[in-house]
Amino acid sequence: MTVPAASGGCTVLLYSDDSSIRERVKLALGRRPAADLPRVEYLETATEPAVRKMLDAGGIDLAVLDGEATPAGGLGVCRAAKNEVFRCPPILVLIGRAQDAWLANWSQADGVVSYPLEPVGLAAEAARLLRGALGATLTEGSSPAPLPASGH
């Protein structure tokens, strides 16, 4: 497990019981999934309890969950997180077949990519979700813009 991203970076949680899947996701996303995004730091886990602990702790900008993981599949983990984690970050699920997209919808996933993993498509979907998450984080703590002075 790595340490969370320093200020200005973003943290991506990777969950799969298969270390080769986690490695393939890291290779696809690289240090930056897109040029306009900050550098990514990865947290990796192979167990559902660790996913829950990390999500509860906060500081995760995107979670990538393997829908084919065992014994706890990423789709069920996603649904539980979306219903139970306060300010749950966006979740991207990896599914076995494109026909299983309805399960990703049931799980309340924010994004879905099917196997076999295609690096460009995976990076594009992760970048889309990270842009939304980082934009929300930046505006969450800021105060509203002042109203323009009335001309009356």
Neighbouring residues of 3: CB distance < 8 A, sequence distance ≥ 6: 41
Task: Give me the chain's average pLDDT, please.
Answer: 87
Q: Take residue 60 and report the two structure tokens written for it.
A: 């995760």
Residue 8 — pLDDT band, cuts 50, 70, 90? confident
Residue 22 — pLDDT band, cuts 50, 70, 90? very high
**Count of the separate structural domains present in the chain:** 1
Is residue 3 domain-resident? no
Q: Which domain holds residue 55?
A: 10-138
Q: What is the pLDDT of residue 37?
A: 95
Q: What is the pLDDT of residue 40?
A: 96
User: How confident is the model over 16-36, as a mean pLDDT?
Assistant: 96
* Residues written for the chain: 152
State percent of the chain over pLDDT 90.
79
Q: Which one, of 33, 29, 27, 112, lies nearest residue 68 by Cα?
A: 112
Is residue 150 domain-resident? no
User: How confident is the model over 21-35, as a mean pLDDT?
Assistant: 96
Is residue 69 domain-resident? yes
Residue 143 — pLDDT band, cuts 50, 70, 90? very low
Is residue 145 domain-resident? no
Q: What is the pLDDT of residue 7?
A: 53
Phi-psi bin for 8: left (phi > 0), alpha (psi -120 to 50), beta? left
Is residue 1 domain-resident? no
Query: What are 46-99's pLDDT values in tens digits?
Result: 999 999 999 999 999 999 999 999 999 999 999 999 999 999 999 999 999 999
Is residue 41 scored above 70 in pLDDT? yes
Looking at residue 44, which CATH number applies to its domain?
3.40.50.2300
